[in-house]
Amino acid sequence: MKTLVKNGVVINPATGFMEITDVLIEAGKVSHIGDIADVTAEQVIDATGLLVVPGLVDIHVHFRDPGFPDKETIATGAQSAAAGGFTSVVCMPNTKPSIDTVETLEYVLRTGREQAAVHVYSSAAMTYGLEGTELTDLDSLKQAGAVTFTDDGRSVMDPQLVYAAFQKAAELDVPISSHCEDHHLVKGGSLNRGEVSRQLGDPGIPRLGEELIIARDILFAEETGARLHIQHVSTARGVQLIREGKARGVKVTAEGAPHHFTLTDEQALTSGSMAKVNPPLRTREDVEAVIAGLADGTLDVIATDHAPHTLEEKGRPLAQAPFGMVGLETAVGLTLTSLVYPGRLSLMDAISKLTVIPSAIMGLPSGRLEVGLAADVTIIDPQKEWIVDSDKFKSKSRNTPFAGMKLKGKAVWTMVHGDVVYNEL
């Protein structure tokens, strides 16, 4: 099977390549990049005016399997990824049971291979049951394919245990991904602690709770030499702590999520529980800091924290609704609309933060569009204006505060290893 993608803006951030040209895909691999005059291909795509980029990589998704198939399965999560232009994802371990044993990890990876339209990688839990009391068998979990260790959704509070995990991660050269939240400071709130939380009678989630753990984990990384990846940074001072850590030479990377670079806590006034996410949407000043952090490289990666929940759960009052929103199918539109079109981030940097950089952090064999490599390719229509309609999501869940929002830019064609897994061209 030969596929010829003609006349697109071909971008490979790994080499800084950006040219209007053609891409030929044969037997699942990219066989040629450059103008092609006479080739007979079974499939010819006219990509005039479209971006042809490496398949996107999201290193922070919740596919809810095992345990919560009414929210999402690995198959539906992968469909959602493909529809968003993502060809590789890293699953978080807060499933039921949590991904804290080789057996559960192998279940996730095997199900991904057998049922998913995209490449499914997985993290493993740092502590059994994400309970923060006993370290998992990090050696065996790495052996079995875990690409990062994390208790995402929670922070391990016991410093002795965190220290041991960082030492082990340094020895294994596996990054630790940190969800940063001091549970002693953060109790019971649903929204950023501030004007809006007071107005809605919510106890609020203080920025300090996130920042204390960011600072702590940067120190652990500095002390042990471990690689640290800070997840979904939401506060201005959090961004600054990471910037300072990097300047000191600490091996710290970090991610910004589309909702954190687009929305403020005021969204809860109109979207209610749909705007409840952890860490919470903060203030305009924090949003600006997250954008500045993405622009200057302090925040290396754009990751969605795709977190499906049923409408029944999200229909509960603020205090009882679970945290999280789906994100895979709106990420490209939000990145272009909130960052690239307003001139805050170059197109090359945006694609880089969605491909080669996250791949490099997690050691994935993806994120590049180069001759000889597996053909994971995404086509983005940068001009396409569309209204987010959650009823059309491929995800099993519809929980998004972006429903009804007009975005410019959309993934329209996704190829995984030479197979087209999404097509709205």
Please identify, using beta-carbon distances, which residue of 179 and 353 lies nearer to Zn ion. Answer: 179
- Is 232 annotated as a binding-site member? yes
Options 22-30, 114-122, 174-182, 241-249: segment touching Zn ion (CB under 5 A): 174-182
Count of residues near Zn ion by CB under 5 A: 2
Question: In this structure, are residues 12 and 371 in contact, taking their beta carbons and an 8 Å threshold?
Answer: no
Q: Quote the least distance from Cβ 276 to Zn ion, whole Å.
A: 13
Q: Quote the least distance from Cβ 153 to Zn ion, whole Å.
A: 5
Please identify, using beta-carbon distances, which residue of 180 and 388 lies nearer to Zn ion. Answer: 180
Say whether residue 243 binds Zn ion (CB under 5 A). Answer: no
Please identify, using beta-carbon distances, which residue of 217 and 376 lies nearer to Zn ion. Answer: 217
Q: Can you tell me the distance from the alpha carbon of 15 to that of 380, in angstroms, rounded to the nearest whole number?
A: 19
- Is 166 annotated as a binding-site member? no
Say whether residue 179 binds Zn ion (CB under 5 A). Answer: yes
**For tokens 């059994």, what's the residue?**
128
Nearest of 265, 309, 264 to residue 153 by alpha carbon: 309
- Is 77 annotated as a binding-site member? no
Q: How far is CA 147 from the centre of its chain?
A: 14
Secondary structure, 3-state, 283-345: CHHHHHHHHHHHHHCCCCEECCCECCCCHHHHCCCCCCCCCCECCCCCHHHHHHHHHHCCCCC
x/- track of binding to Zn ion for residues 12-51 (CB under 5 A): ----------------------------------------
Options 146-154, 246-254, 388-396, 405-413: segment touching Zn ion (CB under 5 A): 146-154
Nearest of 125, 119, 157, 160 to residue 140 by alpha carbon: 125
How many CA atoms does the CB half-sphere of 33 hold within 13 Å? 22
Q: Quote the least distance from Cβ 204 to Zn ion, whole Å.
A: 18
Question: In this structure, are residues 396 and 76 in contact, taking their beta carbons and an 8 Å threshold?
Answer: yes
Q: Quote the least distance from Cβ 374 to Zn ion, whole Å.
A: 29
Nearest of 340, 351, 254 to residue 299 by alpha carbon: 254
Say whether residue 152 binds Zn ion (CB under 5 A). Answer: yes
- Is 94 annotated as a binding-site member? yes
Please identify, using beta-carbon distances, which residue of 47 and 212 lies nearer to Zn ion. Answer: 212
Give the phi and the psi of residue 348 in degrees, each rounded to 5.
-60, -45
Q: Quote the least distance from Cβ 207 to Zn ion, whole Å.
A: 15
**Residue whose Cβ sits closest to Zn ion:** 179
- Is 278 annotated as a binding-site member? yes
411's enclosing H/E stretch is strand 406-416
Active site residue 296: no
- Is 248 annotated as a binding-site member? no
Q: Quote the least distance from Cβ 147 to Zn ion, whole Å.
A: 16
Say whether residue 259 binds Zn ion (CB under 5 A). Answer: no
66 upstream amide cis, omega within 30 of 0: yes
Please identify, using beta-carbon distances, which residue of 179 and 410 lies nearer to Zn ion. Answer: 179
Please identify, using beta-carbon distances, which residue of 151 and 265 lies nearer to Zn ion. Answer: 151
Query: Where would I find the H helices in 180-316?
Result: 195-199, 207-224, 236-247, 258-262, 267-271, 284-296, 311-314
- One of 305, 349, 376, 381 is an active-site residue; which one? 305
Options 81-89, 172-180, 240-248, 250-258: segment touching Zn ion (CB under 5 A): 172-180
Options 113-121, 152-160, 190-198, 288-296: segment touching Zn ion (CB under 5 A): 152-160
Q: Can you tell me the distance from the alpha carbon of 4 to that of 26, in angstroms, rounded to the nearest whole number?
A: 9
Options 159-167, 179-187, 262-270, 315-323: segment touching Zn ion (CB under 5 A): 179-187
Tokens encoding 76? 């539906």
Say whether residue 100 binds Zn ion (CB under 5 A). Answer: no
Q: Quote the least distance from Cβ 179 to Zn ion, whole Å.
A: 4
Phi-psi bin for 234: left (phi > 0), alpha (psi -120 to 50), beta?
A: alpha
Please identify, using beta-carbon distances, which residue of 127 and 337 lies nearer to Zn ion. Answer: 127
**For tokens 């602690």, what's the residue?**
193
Give the phi and the psi of residue 325 in degrees, each rounded to 5.
-145, 155
CB atoms within 10 A of CB 184: 9
**For tokens 């999404």, what's the residue?**
422
- Is 17 annotated as a binding-site member? no
Nearest of 113, 125, 56, 52 to residue 86 by alpha carbon: 56
Give the phi and the psi of residue 334 in degrees, each rounded to 5.
-70, -40
Please identify, using beta-carbon distances, which residue of 155 and 355 lies nearer to Zn ion. Answer: 155
Please give the residue ranges that form the binding site for Zn ion (CB under 5 A). 152, 179
Mark the binding-site residues for Zn(2+), compressed into ranges.
60, 62, 152, 179, 232, 305
Active site positions, annotated: 305
Mark the binding-site residues, compressed into ranges.
60, 62-64, 94, 152, 179, 232, 278, 305, 309, 323-324
Mark the binding-site residues for substrate, compressed into ranges.
62-64, 94, 278, 309, 323-324
